[in-house]
Amino acid sequence: MYFLDIGEQCQRDAQPLLETRNEAPLSLDHFTVRRQRRLILDGITLDFQFGVTAILGPNGAGKTTLLEAIVSLGRRCDGEVRFSGLQPTTIRSRRRVLERLGFMPQDWEFIPGYTVAETVEYAAWLKGAHSRRLSEMAQAALGNVNLAGESDRKVGRLSGGMRQRVGLAEALVCEPEILVLDEPTVGLDPEQRIEFRSALRARSDQSVILMSTHLTEDAGLLADRIIVLAKGRILFDGAPDELETLAYGDDAGHSSLLEQGYIKIMRASAPS
Ligand SMILES: Nc1ncnc2c1ncn2[C@@H]1O[C@H](COP(=O)(O)OP(=O)(O)OP(=O)(O)O)[C@@H](O)[C@H]1O
C-alpha cells in the first residue's frame, strides 16, 4: 500500500505535546455534556498525570461519553479540556494534539479489504507520520500486541480477539502521549489480557492513559488511579488500594476487595 505525502504533515516527526512542569498533562474543567436535553456528564473537573487511570461505572454511567468528549477535544461539550495548559481551539493546535493521541473506541471498525499492516500504517499516516516510517511504526505497534506475524492477513478474516488487538495497535501506533481506550480488553483471552497489560505498563511512564472497563481485575492490576463514575458524576477518585479499603468483607470470598469497594460505593449512591 502506498500513502501519498501531503505536504508539511508528513515531512516532520510529531513534536512532544505534554509537559509536567507547570500544568497537568491533561485537565478537564467543569466538563458538561448534554444530549437531547439530558445531562450526561455533570461538570467534571479532573487533572490527569502520566500513568494509567481506569474509569469504572455501571452501564450508562457516562464513561464512553467522557472518553469521546476528550478525544473530540471538547466538541459539543461545555467546559474546557487542556493539554499541558494548551486549550486546542485553533486548527493547528487541534492537529498537534491529535497527532499525539491514540484512541480505541468501544465499537472499533476496520476498513474492509485492508490487511493488518495496512490498517495500522493508515492510522500512523493519519497521525502525520512520515511515509517512509509507516511500516516501521506499524510493526512496532503490532509487536506490542503480539500480532507482528499476522501483518499480511486481512483484518476481516481474523478472530474477534485478534481484531480487537489490531484496534489496540492502531491506538498505540506513533507512541501516543495520550492514550484513550474504551473497554479495550473485551474479547481478549486471559493470556492476551496479560500481554495487553504489560504493553500498557510499558507506556505508562510517558503517557496519560485513560481506560474504561467493567473488569475490576484489570483496573486493580494495571491502574495507578481509579475513578468511579455514575450518572455523569464522580463517586470515587483514588488509588486501587484506597478503593479496596472500602470493602465490606461479608461476602464469604466470592468477590475481590476491589469489587467489594466498588459495590459499596454504588450502593451508597443509590437512592433509598
Ligand atoms: N447521542 C445520545 N443521545 C442521547 N443520549 C445519549 C447519547 N449518547 C449517550 N447517551 C446516553 O448517555 C448515557 C451515558 O452513555 P455512555 O455510553 O457514555 O455510558 P457508559 O458508561 O459508557 O455505558 P456502558 O458501560 O454501557 O458502555 C446513557 O444513558 C446513554 O443512553
Q: Give the number of the atom of ligand 1 that is nearest the alpha carbon of residue 183.
A: 27
Is 10 part of any domain?
no
CA distances from 22 to 25, 31, 86, 202, 205 (A): 9, 21, 12, 25, 18
Is 53 part of any domain?
yes
Q: Give the number of the atom of ligand 1 that is nearest the alpha carbon of residue 65.
A: 18
C-alpha 184 – ligand 1 centre gap (Å): 17
Give the count of domains, the chain.
Answer: 2
At 139 the pLDDT is 95
Domain boundary residue among 176, 191, 224? 176
Is 8 part of any domain?
no
Residues of the chain with pLDDT under 50: 2-12
Is 191 part of any domain?
yes
Domain boundary residue among 153, 176, 199? 176
213 and 255 in a single domain? The answer is yes
At 21 the pLDDT is 64
95 and 189 in a single domain? The answer is yes
Is 7 part of any domain?
no
Helix (H) or strand (E) holding 203: helix 190-203
- Distance of alpha carbon 23 from its chain centroid, rounded? 21
The enclosing domain of 64 has a CATH number of 3.40.50.300
Residue 232, by phi and psi: left (phi above 0), alpha (psi -120 to 50) or beta?
Answer: left
209 and 96 in a single domain? The answer is yes
Q: What is the ipTM of this complex?
A: 0.96
Domain boundary residue among 151, 176, 201? 176
79 and 195 in a single domain? The answer is yes
253 and 171 in a single domain? The answer is no
CB-based pocket (< 6 A), ligand 1 = 35-36, 38, 40, 57, 59-65
Report the nearest-CA residue for atom 4 of ligand 1: 35
Residue-number span of the structural domain to which 164 is assigned: 108-176
Is 223 part of any domain?
yes
Report the nearest-CA residue for atom 12 of ligand 1: 40
Q: Give the number of the atom of ligand 1 that is nearest the alpha carbon of residue 57.
A: 21
- Residue 259: partners with Cβ closer than 8 Å, 6 or more residues away: 216
Question: What is the pTM assigned to this prediction?
Answer: 0.90
194 and 206 in a single domain? The answer is yes
At 1 the pLDDT is 52
Is 112 part of any domain?
yes
C-alpha 199 – ligand 1 centre gap (Å): 29
163 and 257 in a single domain? The answer is no
122 and 135 in a single domain? The answer is yes
137 and 246 in a single domain? The answer is no
At 250 the pLDDT is 66
